[in-house]
């Protein structure tokens, strides 16, 4: 019989998520996970099975947190343009204040999706969930009268999704002024 766990799974997943987010999957070593979580390597593997299984759990947690955040931020008051401008600027400003790490999902897509079909599917599901929230907010704007009723919701949603992903990559090399200009230009579609 094994010893009882002395750690909270969610806390370990959160700490692992932060480590993967900062360093990427390939650059995160088991010893880094041990240091970040405070859990011995054997206990980590007994609890989560493998580095990959822990990474998958971290991605799922990040995705849930991100989906909740996007829904909350895009459901706020204001016109569609105002809400998206605040949302996108908030992403940029938060990334600039947070070590310019970008987005764990975007980083993972760039690092792993081209050679890992399971990751590609997970990242596509995460993106589709976000795009669904974006489309719903644009559609709400059409109903509220602050977005052209003839606007192609799907094309605009895809454009804004691409802008979000691009911003999350470009945050690593550009300043806020330039990224805010990109946001303002992109939002002319609304």
Residue ranges of domains in the chain: 1-60, 76-189
Name which of 61, 69, 94 is nearest 176 in CA terms.
94
Q: What is the assigned CATH class of domain 76-189?
A: mainly alpha
Does this chain's domain 1-60 share its CATH topology with 76-189? Answer: no
Q: How far is CA 155 from CA 39, 101, 147, 151, 190, in A?
A: 46, 28, 14, 9, 11
Q: What is the pLDDT of residue 4?
A: 54
d(CA 58, CA 141): 34
d(CA 146, CA 130): 21
Average pLDDT for runs of 10 along the chain of length 190: 69 96 96 95 91 97 94 95 97 91 95 97 96 97 96 97 96 95 96
Place of tokens 């009268």: 145
User: For residue 115, what are its two tokens?
Assistant: 């050679």
* CB of 112 closer than 8 Å to CB of 119: yes
d(CA 103, CA 91): 9
Sequence-distant (6+) residues with CB within 8 A of 186 are: 88, 159, 160, 163
Q: How far is CA 151 from CA 77, 145, 155, in A?
A: 21, 12, 9
Q: How far is CA 134 from CA 14, 159, 174, in A?
A: 26, 10, 25
Q: Where are the alpha helices (DSSP H) in 24-152?
A: 30-37, 41-48, 51-74, 80-97, 104-108, 117-144
Q: What is the pLDDT of residue 165?
A: 96
Q: What is the pLDDT of residue 85?
A: 98
Q: What is the pLDDT of residue 1?
A: 47
d(CA 51, CA 162): 30
Name which of 92, 60, 73, 70 is nearest 181 in CA terms.
92
Q: What is the pLDDT of residue 5?
A: 60
Sequence-distant (6+) residues with CB within 8 A of 15 are: 36, 37, 38
Q: What is the pLDDT of residue 8?
A: 87
User: For residue 189, what are its two tokens?
Assistant: 């579609």
**CATH code that applies to domain 1-60:** 1.10.10.60
Q: What is the pLDDT of residue 113?
A: 97
State pTM to two decimals.
Answer: 0.90
């Amino acid at each position: 019989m094994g010893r009882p766990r002395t750690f909270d799974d969610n806390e370990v997943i959160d700490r692992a998520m932060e480590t993967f987010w900062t360093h990427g999957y390939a650059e995160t070593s088991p010893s880094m996970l041990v240091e970040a979580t405070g859990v011995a390597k054997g206990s980590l593997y007994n609890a989560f099975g493998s580095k990959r299984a822990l990474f998958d759990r971290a991605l799922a947690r990040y995705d849930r947190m991100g989906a909740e955040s996007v829904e909350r931020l895009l459901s706020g008051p204001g016109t569609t343009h105002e809400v998206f401008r605040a949302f996108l600027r908030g992403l940029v400003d938060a990334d600039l204040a947070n070590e310019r790490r970008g987005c764990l999902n975007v980083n993972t897509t760039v690092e792993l999706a081209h050679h890992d079909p399971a990751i590609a599917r997970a990242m596509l599901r995460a993106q589709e969930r976000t795009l669904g929230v974006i489309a719903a907010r644009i559609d709400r704007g059409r109903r509220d009268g602050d977005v052209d009723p003839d606007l192609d919701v799907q094309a605009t949603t895809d454009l804004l999704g691409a802008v979000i992903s691009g911003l999350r990559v470009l945050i690593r090399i550009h300043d806020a002024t330039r990224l805010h200009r990109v946001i303002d230009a992109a939002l002319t579609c609304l």
